[in-house]
Structure 1
Amino acid sequence: MGTVTRVGISGWRYPRWRGTFYPVGLPQRDELGYAAARLGTIELNGSFYSLQRPSSYQQWAAQTPEDFVLAVKGGRFVTHLKKLVDVQVPLANFFASGVLALGRRLGPVLWQLPPTLPYDPDRLAAFFALLPRTTARAAELAAQHDARLDGRAWTTTDADRPLHHALEVRGAGYVEPGFVELLRAHDIALVVADSAGRWPQLFDVTSDVVYVRLHGHAELYASGYPRTLLEEWAARVRAWSAGETDVGGPLVASHAPRAPHGREVYVYFDNDAKVHAPFDAMSLAAMLRDGPPGAAAQ
């Protein structure tokens, strides 16, 4: 496990960004490439709303640099409609829809639970047991897709690579030590979410991957992050990347062991409504490149 740190955005196709982040006249088909040239990662969220096609994943891969990472948001059919129950075939369909066509660009898979889903450790444990932890196992699962994907399924991988999963929760019932320990037992990253106080903000490290979603500090999906707050997040990211677990945020369980070789950290800005996300992401990435305040003078 390396100490890779990537900062990016959740989605990229927003009309309000045209003429602000995206130059006037930039064709829509070139927006992903434009964003990818300025960021380290992007979260694919169309996959949350519906099964995409392999051709789309192929196009997204072709429009991004070879070392770029695309996180993929798991389908709401699994999380919101099926509520994680009886989901082996829906999971097979999700992975057969083309996720593996991203090849080396495939990053963590994000699963977002609805606020109405109560904490149920048995339900979560059964779901975690179904999740493939390598791309080879994901390909095996994809081959179990149902007839809806006949003729359009992608069930192969170009190489066998680790596959990481992250879970974002939105209910107060998850603020309990048993939940954190369950995630650690299954090596699932607990999403650190900043949501203007709407949902729990938990800083427990539960995997060698740390996954952060910044939805807006003062106003959900809308407010930007001033430099002082970005510096706080930069300090946390540096600590996580170095393998630390004490990042100055609220914990619901004991600290995870320090990772001597560091952790991978992914940060996604989802405050898109007023076009703050791409600029906040670039600012945070620059802070991380430049080092902590005063570092250059030492």
Structure 2
Amino acid sequence: MIRVGIGGWNFDEWRGGVFYPDDLPQRRELEFASRALSSIEINATYYGSQKPTTFQKWHDETPDDFVFAIKASRYATNRKNLGEAGGSVEKFLTSGITKLGDKLGPINWQLAATKTFDPEEFAAFLALLPKTQDGIALRHAIEVRHDSFADNKAAELCRDRNIALIRGADSEFPDIDVETADFAYMRLMGTTDRANGYTPKALDHWAEEAKRMAKGRDLFLYVISGHKARNPACAQALIERLT
């Protein structure tokens, strides 16, 4: 299964006929986006906590086969010592995210760009990530943003716990393309102001990369950053190539 989507859904750049129809009320944007795409990465959770009723609302507004990825709180990941993040990790996991039920996809634990790889610290952080919460299986993914994580030991530590290393593709961040879990996660971040964000040739390339990464496992692919106004069109163009 390859799921393709965008990060968030409430952006002015997508209104006025760019992605959302002119007459679409903002309260129905998630309803629309979740039927045009197969997944969305929730970004608001990175900046602040959401109410359990909000997660339940998002669950109820989306199709039965839809899946959300969710960015973990920055208070858990942007710290001097990741191994001391236990309280923040627990607070995030008990904030109501399991109200998404079977629509809860992977959790993106995004590290700061200044965080360098320290094997003991990284192992201590990974040990804080439980396999279940409220009876729901959790899939964890780590987004590293420093070259020092291009280290076999980092991959081994993730592999030991079935945690995916997120591939930050076409960006200023390191593109670490290694298999460490029974699912894969890619964030494609280089769209431009072209009609579909990329040239047709580039879209073909990323579609082939998605197929390769998805062999024998699920892939979650999100078009994010780059030229934001084109991200939904890029995601849809990739879906066309993958179906």
CA drift at 1:40: 0.3
> Which of 58, 75, 82 is equivalent to 2:56?
58
Match of 1:296 in 2: none
1:196-275 residue pairs with structure 2 within 5 A? 196=171, 198-216=172-190, 224-242=197-215, 262-271=216-225, 273-275=227-229
CA drift at 1:241: 2.2
How many residues were matched structurally?
240
CA drift at 1:217: 5.4
1:1-298 residue pairs with structure 2 within 5 A? 4-19=1-16, 20-81=18-79, 83-134=81-132, 138-139=133-134, 160-196=135-171, 198-216=172-190, 224-242=197-215, 262-271=216-225, 273-289=227-243
* 1:108-142 deviations in Å (ceiling 9; x for gaps): 000111111111111111111111112xxx23xxx
What is the SS of the residue equivalent to 1:166? Answer: strand
CA–CA distance in structure 2, aligned partners of residues 16 and 272 of structure 1: 13
What is the SS of the residue equivalent to 1:167? Answer: strand
- Contact 1:224 1:271 (C-alpha < 8 Å) held by counterparts: no
Rate the CA distance shift 1:70–1:274 in 2: closer, same or farther, 3 A.
closer
CA–CA distance in structure 2, aligned partners of residues 94 and 82 of structure 1: 18
> CA-atom RMSD, angstroms?
1.7
Rate the CA distance shift 1:96–1:162 in 2: closer, same or farther, 3 A.
closer
What is the SS of the residue equivalent to 1:13? Answer: coil
- Which structure's CA Rg is the greater one? 1
CA drift at 1:271: 3.3
What is the SS of the residue equivalent to 2:235? Answer: helix
- Contact 1:224 1:277 (C-alpha < 8 Å) held by counterparts: yes
How high is the TM-score relative to the length of structure 1? 0.77
* 1:75-97 deviations in Å (ceiling 9; x for gaps): 00011146523222211210121
CA drift at 1:229: 1.4
Instruction: Specify the code of the residue in structure 1 equivalent to 2:177.
Output: F
Match of 1:294 in 2: none
User: Percent identity of the aligned residues?
Assistant: 39
CA drift at 1:46: 0.3
- Contact 2:77 2:85 (C-alpha < 8 Å) held by counterparts: no
Query: Structure 1 runs of 4+ off > 6 angstroms?
Result: none
CA drift at 1:66: 1.1
Gaps of 5+ in 1: 140-159, 243-261, 290-298
* 1:212-259 deviations in Å (ceiling 9; x for gaps): 00111579xxx92222112112112212222xxxxxxxxxxxxxxxxx
CA–CA distance in structure 2, aligned partners of residues 176 and 130 of structure 1: 21
CA drift at 1:5: 1.2
Instruction: Specify the code of the residue in structure 2 equivalent to 1:168.
Output: E
CA–CA distance in structure 1, aligned partners of residues 192 and 220 of structure 2: 22
How high is the TM-score relative to the length of structure 2? 0.93
CA–CA distance in structure 1, aligned partners of residues 72 and 108 of structure 2: 6
- Contact 1:16 1:273 (C-alpha < 8 Å) held by counterparts: no
CA–CA distance in structure 2, aligned partners of residues 70 and 116 of structure 1: 27
